[in-house]
Amino acid sequence: LKKIMGNNFVKEDFVWSGRELSEVQIKNLVKFTKKAGRKIEKGDEILIWEPEMMVMGKAVGGERIPQYVKRNGAFEKDLLSESLIDSKPREVLQMKLHYYDGRVRTLEKVYGNAKSVDFSKAEWDMRVKTGENLSGIEHIEIAHTHPSYALTITSKDGQKFSRPNEISQGDYSMVADFLSRLPPGKKLSIKAITPNDFYYESTFVSQ
């Protein structure tokens, strides 16, 4: 059968170094590589990043905003389970409010699609639940999933192409917009959680 937009690759078309992607995730990867201008072909080697390949707590991102790599815990794994990674991938976002007295308030989950999630719904929920009174809150945590894997593709001629799946510029734009509406001195962290069993985190303080 003729390939439909090149999206019907199967696992056997690639060389796997370690774990293999599901058919759903392979389609996700093909779409991503096309958008990135990198053609994926039969015989390419695919390496899914493992936590052991990362240095936990280390800042990555080069000249960009530092992102710290950390291992997924129970909270992150719960959001990933809601992300339907291998059936119908979608971003899931949830906010936590950390109070000065040690209390932690977890707000409602917000569900998006494979590419984005509407943060304004989470912010609205926060403002309704707090009655716009943020004085007792020390730290606002925004956690969301990236429902695809960080990986490296190596072509047959040895060229490498990596998808770190880290916090995106779109995520940072959302953070900057939100920070502008917070009173001064509030700590804000953004997490991008991957199914590789690690997440990226950046932290800011409102001015």
> pTM for this structure?
0.93
What does the chain look like in DSSP terms, one character per residue? ---STT----GGGSEEESS---HHHHHHHHHHHHHTT----TT-EEEE--GGGS-TT-EE-TTSS-EEEEE--HHHHHHHHTTTTTTS---EEEEEEEETTS-EEE---EE--SS---HHHHHHHHHHHHTT--TTEEEEEEEEE--S--EEEE-TTS-EEEE-----HHHHHHHHHHHTTSPTT-EEEEEEE-TTSEEEEEEEE--
* pLDDT band at residue 39 under the 50/70/90 scheme: confident
Q: What is the mean pLDDT of residues 177-190?
A: 97
Q: What is the mean pLDDT of residues 155-172?
A: 94
* pLDDT band at residue 175 under the 50/70/90 scheme: very high
